[in-house]
Amino acid sequence: MSSLFVPDSAVRDEGGITDADLCAQFAAHAAHAKRRERKGQWHLLFILLFVLGPLVIYPLARLVMLSVTGTHGFTLHAYTAFFGNTQTRGMIGTTLGILFASASIASLLGVAIASMLFFRPFAGARLLTRFLELFVAFPSFLVAFTLIFLYGSQGSVSIGLQRLFSLDATPLDFLFGIGGVILAEVVFYAPFVVRPTLASYATLDMRLVEAARSLGAGGWMVATKVVLPLAWPGIAAGTILCFLLTLNEFGILLVLGSAHLITLPIAIYSAATVDLDLPTAAAGSVVMLLMSLSLYALYRRVNRRAGVR
Amino acid sequence: MQLSGSSRFTPGACLRLAITGFVALLCFWLFVLPVVVVALSSVASHWSGTILPDGVSTRWFARLSSSDLDALSTSLEVGVGVAFIGTALGLWLALALEGRDRRGLGALVDAVAMMGSGVPSVVLGLAVLIAYHKRPLDLSGSAAIVVLVQLALVLPFCYRCAAAALRPELTILREAAASLGAPPRMVLVRVVLPQLVPAIRASLALGFALSLGELGATLTVYPPGFATVPIVVVGQVNRGYYLPASALSLILLAVSLAALLLIAARAPRR
């Protein structure tokens, strides 16, 4: 840097800068920039090998290796053991069913709530937005846990309904199963759609909306013809993120679904810690890893196009 | 936006009001009620088969056993460690990747650094367990393995916090300082870090809160004697001890909320 800044007095003493001097300075500057670029590359390589290597790359490589090695070298035995089990036959179907049901309901609900908060704010909307931002700190298993107090067979809502209609038995008995898991995942992951959607709305040019209104467009037309096409990339990114997080969810499944519902994460967990069969668990993990990483790659693509970080 | 219709009670305005009210109620029901329920149940003397708890008592807090308190201190120690290391690593990554084109090595490092947010926590926990449970590097008897696995999960969030704060204006400031002859170390300490203080605070708070609530990966790797609060709470819930579990989770929630409010006045919008 300092080579570019020759003190004025020195220049005057020599009676001006010649072309040769300038060329030399440019060459020196280019060489300096190139050196810095190469140094930056080495810096990145160092981080990749010594920080991210032990944290992420090495464990995942060991996981994949363990799933395909047996006592006599390469084998796919662990995969057949994991998926050939009659108990786990419908597991991937169940997992995907829960994923699609809860993530699509959560996305619709999240977009609806975000639209309401942005376009028709009511008293306390700001407070609710702040609250949804803090929801990150709320662990997912706690959501499942609180639902037991509300909708469990002895929960407030069940007892309230029983008293209201004077029934003999409690009317709600869905919590420890697929219904309860979907409810908990919708409650927990809808806020994750609200935030990117609100951020996407915040970049909208409101003059476009007002222009459409003044030209006589109704609320529905404004929403479908103006707002949605403009905010779509951000909403899509939020929705894919919601699918990714729902697929990776574990706490809710452990609290509400571990008894009756066999899903992929629960099967991996019990193979690893209950049966102590690490190769079989690794085989299930590799399949789940492939599903998650393809969704993750999709998310990165869409997010880059949306330009929202 | 509502120039007309809000003052008169037309059917349309009434409908709109009803929809707004419904959404407000739904939001309260879905998102605020769970927090209220944890708070209520932890001070309930008895809550089963009734709409509201029977009475108020603090006995669940008084009865926290020594293993509960051990879990609490393990959680706090791991959380502080993960928050500080994660923030330092995230900052380092963001500074190293700043201003690089998103191709080649830079893109690879970025993708691998963000991978922790896309991998299921159980899978990552299992991978770390497989890699570090026997020689050459055996961490399975210490809290280091818990810190390691949580670091991998928290790092993407800390990295994002720091990267979001490295705005173009900051690059101009750095170049101005460098062109005036400040050496790189001075630029970092006197120009860049002071500008990043809000992001560092947000990153610390986020790392701490995420570490406190992490369940899947920790449950897969934790060595005996290093159970964290979420593990103890889930164990109690699965055995049906609901009220002690909510006392412990209320403490957990209060600690992470206090950290978020104290350290980070406001998290950067992502």
Binary contact (B164, A41; C-beta < 8 A): no
Q: Report which of residues B4 and A236 the model is more confident about.
A: A236
Are A271 and A288 in contact by the 8 Å Cβ rule? The answer is no
Are B12 and B5 in contact by the 8 Å Cβ rule? The answer is yes
Q: Report which of residues A245 and A257 the model is more confident about.
A: A245
Taking only the tens place, the pLDDT of each residue in A61-71 is 988 988 888 77
Query: Does residue B22 belong to any structural domain of this protein?
Result: no
pLDDT at A246: 92
Question: Among B246, B259, B210, B251, which Cα is nearest to B38's?
Answer: B246
CATH number at residue B114: 1.10.3720.10
Q: How far is CA B51 from CA A17, A159, A162, B15, B58, in A?
A: 89, 6, 10, 31, 20
State which residues form the domain around B134: 66-263
Residues in chain A within 8 Å Cβ distance of B23: 112-113, 116, 122
pLDDT at A309: 41
Is the predicted pLDDT of residue B3 greater than 70, yes or no? no
Q: Which of A113, A149, A255 sits opposite B23 (nearest CB)?
A: A113
- The confidence band for B102, taking pLDDT boundaries of 50, 70 and 90, is low
Are A253 and A266 in contact by the 8 Å Cβ rule? The answer is yes
**Paired tokens of A37:** 């670029």
pLDDT at B76: 92
Is the predicted pLDDT of residue A133 greater than 70, yes or no? yes
Selected for mutation to probe chain A from B36, B123, B249, B263 (highest A CB count within 10 Å) is: B123
**Paired tokens of B68:** 């509960």
CA B44/CA B55 separation, integer angstroms: 6
pLDDT at A277: 83
pLDDT at B48: 67
Q: Which of B116, B126, B132 sits opposite A272 (nearest CB)?
A: B126
CA A244/CA B156 separation, integer angstroms: 15
CA distance A86 to chain B (A): 22
- The confidence band for B4, taking pLDDT boundaries of 50, 70 and 90, is very low
Give the highest mean pLDDT range of A83-92, B55-64, B249-258. B249-258
pLDDT at A91: 83
Binary contact (A122, B20; C-beta < 8 A): yes
The share of chain B scoring above pLDDT 90, in percent, equals 17
Only one residue has tokens 């942005």, namely A118
Is the predicted pLDDT of residue B57 greater than 80, yes or no? no
Chain A, chain B: beta-carbon pairs less than 8 Å apart: 245
Beta strands of chain A (E only): which ranges?
Answer: 69-70, 73-74
Taking only the tens place, the pLDDT of each residue in A203-247 is 888 888 888 888 887 778 888 888 888 888 888 988 999 999 999
What's the whole-number average pLDDT of chain B? 82
Only one residue has tokens 């690089």, namely B100
Query: Does residue B17 belong to any structural domain of this protein?
Result: no
Query: Does residue B157 belong to any structural domain of this protein?
Result: yes
Q: With 0.90 as the threshold, say if the pTM is over it.
A: no
Count how many domains chain B has. Answer: 1
Fold of A86-306: MetI-like fold (1.10.3720)
Alpha helices, DSSP H, located in B48-192: 59-62, 66-97, 104-114, 121-132, 144-165, 168-179, 184-186
Domain limits, chain A: 2-74, 86-306
Query: Does residue B33 belong to any structural domain of this protein?
Result: no
pLDDT at B154: 92
Q: Which amino acid is at B196?
A: L
